[in-house]
Amino acid sequence: MDTNITSLHKLLLDGTFASHIERKNSSLPTVIVIGGGISGLAAARILFDASFKVILLESRDRLGGRIHTDYSFGYPVDLGASCYTLFDADGHQVPQQLVKEVGDIFKKILKETERIRDEHTDDMSILQAIGLVLDRHPELRQEGLANEVLQWYICRMEAWFAVDADMISLKTWDQEHVLSGGHGLMGKKNMLWPNKVMVMLRTKNLADAAIVTVPIGILKANLIQFEPKLPEWKVAAISDIGVGSENKVALQFDKVFWPNVEFLGIVAPTSYACGYFLNLHKATGHPVLVYMAADPNSLGCYAYDVVGKPEDVYERLRAPLGNLFFGGEAVSMDHQGSVHGAYSAGVAAAQSCQRHVLERLGNLEKLQLVPLRCEIHEAAFPLQISRM
């Protein structure tokens, strides 16, 4: 990032401390962006390009947030955003024809859940809807190994949302979009401060406004102390959204003993006992598997819609409080839990903040907005990542 964007280390997780940051004598409006993930970086870029002074606060010693590539093994392993073969619990390979056949049946089951959704005004879990489909269409039920494969497909769905299927909202589970593009690196200038940071938004202090883009898990755990306290409707909105937990464990072996496929799945009688491995050997040439199994900086991986989610929860999540604005993937109505959702939410928060500050300073004619449907196309960091 540019020199006007400063990254600060160790700020939010221990509460608040008074770090007396004197505002320089400058005519530039100043905004604090809390959170150096893709949403915070997007907000910082928008404001910086609009000639704002931006101070970026991040609790980690790096930028990127939940997007992170680890090089401990000497080659890249993605710990954040990221043709398969299935095996049973005894290590026997499942016939690929059976995998394909059950996969087609699973697609039919999911298609039928759309009818369930249309017939019911009240929300329910996707697992409950699948049960209703199987009651109506017993021919779609599977037995033995085929049922274990079906449970594995449900397990994959659970991994996508990082939560059990009985917690996934039927109304909104199938929202997804694929973006094309490459990958980019982000530069940074670090100023590492220990302990804690207090952000003060007063006329004679640091900034004109602030944007909060921290993970929803941090807000749900009340690890940021707001003064005055957040209103009850904002606290309720934070409570009304779910946050899943999915862990990744990278395993390195002396030699390769598994098939040369991209994906290894383990089937079982229930989705809880299923699992899968990503085979990095096929991509990197090194004997590494990544097992999908709490980062204190995020307390969860990404947001999901809980059963019975209020329809206005996203409006309440992203609604500003005076000169305090909110971004992050969790406030994105259509793309929560995704990198592009986090990015567009950061852009939207920055634009709202920019309008607010310039209007208050009487310089609204300087406002330049990036169309929300175009900002991904013009992004400085092209991505090909769908989930966090």
- What the block records as the tokens of 294 is 């709490």
In the predicted structure, residue 182 carries a pLDDT above the cut 50: no
Q: DSSP readout, 192-251?
A: ---S------STTSS-SEEEE---HHHHHTT-S--SSPPPHHHHHHHHHSEE----EEEE
| Banded pLDDT at 388 (limits 50, 70, 90) | very low
Distance CA(375)–CA(340), nearest Å, equals 10
Distance CA(285)–CA(287), nearest Å, equals 7
Distance CA(16)–CA(88), nearest Å, equals 50
Task: Render pLDDT for 22-33 as a digit per residue (tens, 0 to 9).
Answer: 444 457 888 999
Alpha carbon separation from 254 to 18, 74, 234, 249, 273 (Å, rounded): 50, 14, 51, 17, 27
The predicted pLDDT at position 135 comes to 92
Task: Render pLDDT for 85-98 as a digit per residue (tens, 0 to 9).
Answer: 445 556 666 777 88
Alpha carbon separation from 344 to 43, 128, 335, 351 (Å, rounded): 9, 32, 9, 11
In the predicted structure, residue 132 carries a pLDDT above the cut 90: yes
In the predicted structure, residue 61 carries a pLDDT above the cut 70: yes
In the predicted structure, residue 265 carries a pLDDT above the cut 50: yes
Q: DSSP readout, 6-21?
A: EEE-S-STT-------
Distance CA(176)–CA(4), nearest Å, equals 35
Poorest-confidence range of 94-98, 199-203, 347-351, 357-361? Answer: 199-203
Torsion of CA 274, 309, 303, 159, to 10 degrees: 10
| Banded pLDDT at 144 (limits 50, 70, 90) | confident
- What the block records as the tokens of 162 is 């990082």
pLDDT above 70 coverage of the chain, percent: 65
Q: Are 303 and 337 in contact (CB under 8 A)?
A: yes
The predicted pLDDT at position 286 comes to 62
Phi, psi dihedrals of residue 65, rounded to the nearest 5°: 60, -125
Task: Render pLDDT for 300-339 as a digit per residue (tens, 0 to 9).
Answer: 777 877 888 788 888 999 899 989 999 988 888 777 777 8
Distance CA(191)–CA(22), nearest Å, equals 15
| Banded pLDDT at 293 (limits 50, 70, 90) | very low
Domains and CATH numbers, the chain: 6-64+186-242+303-366 (3.50.50.60), 77-177+248-292 (3.90.660.10)
Q: DSSP readout, 261-330?
A: -SEEEE--SSGGG-EEEEETHHHHSS-EEEEE---TTTSSS-EEPPTT--TTHHHHHH--BTTEEE-SGG
Q: Which of 4-13, 47-56, 60-69 has the highest mean pLDDT?
A: 47-56
- What the block records as the tokens of 42 is 């997007």
Mean per-residue pLDDT over the chain, rounded: 73
Phi, psi dihedrals of residue 78, rounded to the nearest 5°: -75, 120
